[in-house]
Chains A and B, each alone.
Chain A
């Protein structure tokens, strides 16, 4: 591992054009938009997991496979929309990460360029596969439907791994030059990192946890039309919810222990702010579990309970995103700090952004509240 001076000589310089606001504002927006992106992204990964299980259950006809099939259709039906929002909400963090971490981000993507770029192809194929499964009847291409679903799931897992791998590589600027020297055409995947492996598994199990909560929300909305189906969903999801929580806990402890002393100590009390954020995230995740466990027989019927579980899950997720961000910055620190980006306030343009942002949210709310026909008629897609 080269020393700090050597690292600095092979890092690209920061762009000389100043940012329009203090880097901390971009950091805030990066974390906000990334947290929003993570929610639908989790449903994609976790949704694929549940969809595969339910589809297999339907094929081999075990348990209440009719309800399993119905739940499969509900999950698959929602996934293209969640994918749309995963991509849309992912654009903003991609923008802010380039603005703040450009020298590291561009370099790490170039070092693994074909794999980084291939993510788009996989997402595109997975995206159309989801629409195929969602918009066509089960009779259409019947023998191929499970393989198509598995291929879509594999595409998402591959993409999640490549994005995680690039993120980890970005945090290892000391290895950039050696990788560039030894590889050709960007044919390189960064895998030799314990933190990456733990984090990637944390992402996978976390997605099952978050998806369980989203499916419970779906159960809540089904409670009036079909209470039995809502009960089925709740009973089906709970074991996976508990198991993913346990796995998250074990992986979380391993990740904490694998951090270098400086980060470990910061999260264990040396840095009050980050200690609070980290432990608040952990405590909230435990709280979600406890609340869910205690209310396990009525969660799908209880609006306040489902709202509390959803909100606490979101807050826990936010705490974890901020903790991850702190760890990332700590790992980069010897060579790079985003705070050194030059900036010159442009209040007009930044103000316009916040106005448009508020107007955009208002417009989406307005569209969702536009009147529907009564009673509902016609076909549904």
Chain B
């Protein structure tokens, strides 16, 4: 309860993070896989001495640079900006734990950007072997960048023994580090193939277009075998509660997981089948549709990954509403008097005359990280049929009824104030009156 709360109307802060993050991860995975694609395409051009394919590679690399260095880089900074606004405490903790890991990642990012700029701007001037070396350097730097970020992301869900040892390496090489790294690496390669198919559709020469489409579709093949296996391995490493959430504990998350798997399967099968059986009919629109499938897969994957981390932002350390817990799972705040913990709240205690206002403030600091009033994950429709007593009762059993929700923190009077506020969303309430 250290920081002020940024109220994002309708959308809520968490969905704002989701929008920016999903768009970024699509491009950032392409940025990694694209390096792999460019390197091997360079080799292919050299071995086959195919000048038309070289032209294709040239235009693909330009598109690739425009997408990754502009949108990818700006949206990457966007994630920094938005997580700092919505979850400053969690961001601060992650920065303190991984500061020099992130600094190392910045160096890889710098090399990656320099490599793609040199590659594209000096494409015609460089010798073929120089280009091949730069493409390899780009790919290595981009993959190492993923290597570092993967450590931070997986730590949030599976911190392992970090909170006991305090060791950077324990935090970084946490239980889900390797399955996530391999899983994401395969996604990168699949995405490289999809975007390769997209740029191939712009080729005027039919023979080269068909060749480029079929060639790009090879990059989807590892996905068929490896993605299900790696996803299963990843699933095996996540905490028990997370497994419950994805297997039925939360209907929404379970549906998203299904959409995620379905869109991945559809994407790979449709792309490969189209490229092999009807390459001439594969238009730019069709490949855009494949990109939509890819976006759906990636978006739902990230939403599921975020969803199964609930009720925490940092597993076993910080709840979604930024309340820290100690190594015994006890909140590091005064739970008998929640309002007194709030540095930025003008109301410090519940009185008979401020129940609604106090309830509003408790809602802001305990619930609004995940719920809005009327927009994303809205509480007004959710509590529409609830009586005042049911609302109060639900608040006292939040984490027991729904394991993915944090418990309510505060005194009986504060719980009643929050219940009154929630009840007032769908009912006319006067201070003191209808609560009785």
Chain A residues near B (Cβ < 8 Å): 9-10, 12-13, 15, 17-21, 26, 29, 81, 84-85, 87-92, 94-95, 98-99, 102-103, 105-107, 109-111, 113, 116-117, 119-120, 123-124, 127-128, 131, 176-177, 180-181, 184-186, 346, 348-350, 352-353, 356-357, 359-360, 363-364, 366-368, 370-373, 376-381
Contact = CB atoms under 8 A, between A and B. Distances in A.
Given A88-B110, A124-B70, A370 B130 contact: yes
A372 B127 contact: yes
B149 to A, nearest CB: 12
Contact of B95 (A84, A88, A99, A349): A99
B430 to A, nearest CB: 25
Main secondary structure of the interface of A (DSSP, over half): helix
A21 B101 CA distance: 13
A356 B122 CA distance: 25
B69 interface: yes
Contact of A360 (B5, B88, B100, B111): B111
A21 B92 contact: no
A360 B74 contact: no
Interface in B48-77: 62, 66, 69-71, 73-77
Contacts of B73: 84, 87-88
Interface stretch (B6-14, B30-38, B228-236, B287-295): B6-14
Nearest to A77: B121
Contact of A127 (B3, B4, B74, B126): B74
Contacts of B92: 15, 98, 102, 106
Given A29-B103, A110-B88, A360-B108, A367 B137 contact: yes
B377 interface: no
Contacts of B5: 110
B130 A177 contact: no
Contact of B2 (A12, A84, A185): A12
Which one of B4, B8, B81 has the greatest number of beta carbons of chain A within 10 Å? B4
A128 B7 CA distance: 31
The 5 lowest CB-CB distance pairs between A and B, nearest first, are A378-B124, A106-B88, A17-B96, A370-B130, A12-B2
14 contacts: A13-B2, A81-B117, A88-B113, A92-B106, A95-B102, A102-B95, A109-B85, A110-B85, A131-B66, A353-B104, A367-B133, A372-B130, A373-B124, A381-B121
Contacts of A90: 77
Contact of B74 (A92, A120, A184, A359): A120
Contacts of A19: 96, 99
Contact of A12 (B81, B133, B343): B343
Nearest to A83: B70
Contacts of B100: 20-21, 346, 349-350, 352-353
A8 to B, nearest CB: 10
Given A15-B93, A20-B168, A107-B4, A98 B84 contact: yes
Contacts of B106: 91-92, 95
B99 to A, nearest CB: 5
B81 A185 contact: no
Interface of B: 2-9, 62, 66, 69-71, 73-78, 80-82, 84-85, 88-89, 91-93, 95-97, 99-104, 106-111, 113-115, 117-118, 120-127, 129-130, 133-134, 137, 141, 168, 343-344, 346
A98 B85 CA distance: 12
B58 to A, nearest CB: 9
A376 B117 CA distance: 18
A106 B3 contact: yes
Contacts of A88: 73, 109-110, 113
A185 B7 contact: yes
A364 B111 contact: yes
B133 A370 contact: yes
Nearest to A124: B74
B185 to A, nearest CB: 20
B50 to A, nearest CB: 16
Given A19-B96, A124-B74, A349-B168, A84 B85 contact: no
Contacts of B120: 381
B79 to A, nearest CB: 10
A105 B114 CA distance: 29
B118 A367 contact: yes
A335 to B, nearest CB: 13
Contacts of A117: 78, 81-82, 85
A87 B88 contact: no
A181 B134 CA distance: 53
A360 B110 contact: yes
A10 B343 CA distance: 6
A110 B3 contact: yes
B8 A110 contact: no
A110 to B, nearest CB: 5
A229 to B, nearest CB: 21
B103 A376 contact: no
Which one of A21, A113, A379 has the greatest number of beta carbons of chain B within 10 Å? A113
Given A12-B3, A17-B93, A120-B78, A89 B110 contact: yes
Nearest to B123: A381
B104 A364 contact: no
Contacts of A127: 70, 74
A358 to B, nearest CB: 9
B411 to A, nearest CB: 22
A117 B20 CA distance: 11
A81 B121 contact: yes
B339 to A, nearest CB: 15
A349 to B, nearest CB: 5
Nearest to B134: A367
Given A90-B77, A181-B346, 5 more contacts: A15-B96, A99-B96, A124-B74, A352-B100, A381-B123
A220 B290 CA distance: 49
Nearest to A358: B107
A133 B8 CA distance: 35
Contacts of A356: 104, 107-108
B368 to A, nearest CB: 12
B299 to A, nearest CB: 19
A180 B125 contact: no
Nearest to A92: B106
Contact of B77 (A120, A363, A364): A120
B65 to A, nearest CB: 9
Contacts of B125: 372-373, 376, 378, 380
A81 B343 CA distance: 44
A84 B218 CA distance: 32
A379 B123 CA distance: 9
A131 B4 contact: no
Contacts of B127: 370-373
Nearest to A349: B100
Nearest to A360: B107
B404 to A, nearest CB: 26
A329 B168 CA distance: 30
Contact of B91 (A92, A98, A349): A98
B101 A102 contact: no
Contacts of A94: 77, 80
B85 A185 contact: no
A85 to B, nearest CB: 7
A335 B417 CA distance: 34
A381 B62 contact: yes
A160 B109 CA distance: 23
